[in-house]
Amino acid sequence: MQNPASPTTAKHRILVVDDEPQITRVLRTGLKSHGFEVRVAADGLSAMETFGDWPTDLVITDLSMPNLDGIALCKSIRAVSQVPIIVLSVKGEERTKVEALDAGADDYITKPFGINELLARVRAALRRFPAPITGDQAKSLESISLGDFHVDLGTREVRVKEKAIHLTPKEFELLLYFLNHPNKVLTHHTLLAAIWGGNYTEQAEYLRVFVGQLRKKIEQDPSSPLYIRTEPWVGYRFDPGS
C-alpha cells in the first residue's frame, strides 16, 4: 500500500488524471509553481500504471474519461491505497457527487473552478492525511481506547471488538471526531465544519455518504446501527459501546 511522503522530507507528489490536455496543462503549471511534483495521465488505465510506478501523495481526477472512468479509478485506487482523491467534474448534481464519494473520493470540485480553490482543497486533503508513522515514533504516540473501539493514532490502525477495520482518510477522521465526542448530539453543521471545513456546512450529501460507509464497516447491522445513531433532522450521536 502506498503512503504519502512526509511534507518535511520531500515534495508532495500529485497525479492529475484528465483527458483534456488544456486542463492537465493548467493544473500541472499551477501545482508545480506551488512546489508540488506533478505527473499527468489521460485516462484511468494509464493513471493506474503511473500510480503503481510513482509513489503518489494525492490524486486529482476527472470523472468522464475513456479506458476506465473516474468512478472506476477511485474504486481501483481504494482497493490498494488510502491516498486522498479529489474528483473534478462538470456535473454538479448531488447524485453524481454521492456516487464519487461513495467510490472512495475525499472531495469533489465542480468545473469551472479557480486554481486557488483547488490549491486550498489540496492543502486541506494533505493536512488531513499525513504519512503514517512507524517504529519508535509510533510507540511514543497515544492511542484511543473507548468502549468497543481502539485506535492507534500513530499507525492509524482501528479495531472494533478486536477486529481490524480498514478506513479511508475521511472515514478515519470522522470516527476520530465521534470518539472525541461520545454520547453527544453532533449536528450536521458541526460535523461538516469539523471534518470538511466551514465551506462545506451545506453539503449534507458528504456526511450522509461517509456516515453510511462508516456504518458498513463498524456496525454489525448497518440498517440498525448501535454506534452511530441518527438524531432525526438534527445530526448523529455516537455510542462507543461497553
Tell me the three state secondary structure of residue 206.
Answer: helix
Q: Higher confidence at residue 87 or residue 81?
A: 87
> The whole model's pTM is what?
0.65
Instruction: Give me the mean pLDDT over the 37-44 stretch.
Output: 93
- pLDDT at residue 136 in the model: 43
Burial 62-74, CB ≥16 within 10 A → b, else e: bbebeebbbbbbb
- pLDDT at residue 156 in the model: 84
What is d(CA 54, CA 217) in angstroms, rounded to the nearest whole number? 30
Instruction: Give me the mean pLDDT over the 79-104 stretch.
Output: 83
Angle at alpha carbon of residue 123, lines to 84 and 206, rounded to 5°: 55
Across all residues in the chain, what is the average pLDDT?
84
Residues sharing a CB contact under 8 Å with residue 112, sequence separation 6 or more, in sequence order: none
Instruction: Give me the mean pLDDT over the 62-73 stretch.
Output: 88
- pLDDT at residue 193 in the model: 84
Of 115-124, 136-145, 174-183, the one with minimum mean pLDDT is 136-145
**Cell numbers at residue 120, please?**
486550498
Residue 238 predicted with pLDDT over 90: yes
- pLDDT at residue 35 in the model: 92
Question: Hey, which of 9-18, 36-45, 191-200 has the most confident mean pLDDT?
Answer: 36-45
What is d(CA 66, CA 44) in angstroms, rounded to the nearest whole number? 7
Q: What type of residue sits at position 173?
A: E
Residue 119 predicted with pLDDT over 80: yes
Q: Where are the beta strands (DSSP E) in the chain?
A: 13-17, 37-41, 58-62, 85-89, 107-110, 143-146, 149-152, 157-160, 163-165, 185-187, 228-231, 235-238
Confidence category of residue 215, pLDDT binned at 50, 70, 90 = very high
Confidence category of residue 1, pLDDT binned at 50, 70, 90 = very low
- pLDDT at residue 130 in the model: 53
Q: Higher confidence at residue 131 or residue 53?
A: 53
Enclosing H/E stretch for 121? helix 115-128
Going along the chain from its start, the domains and CATH numbers come out as 13-128 (3.40.50.2300), 135-238 (1.10.10.10)
pLDDT 10s digits, 154-176: 788 899 999 999 888 888 889 99
Residue 124 predicted with pLDDT over 70: yes
- pLDDT at residue 209 in the model: 87
What is d(CA 70, CA 44) in angstroms, rounded to the nearest whole number? 7
Burial 76-104, CB ≥16 within 10 A → b, else e: bbbeebbbbbbbbbeeeeeebbbbbbbbb
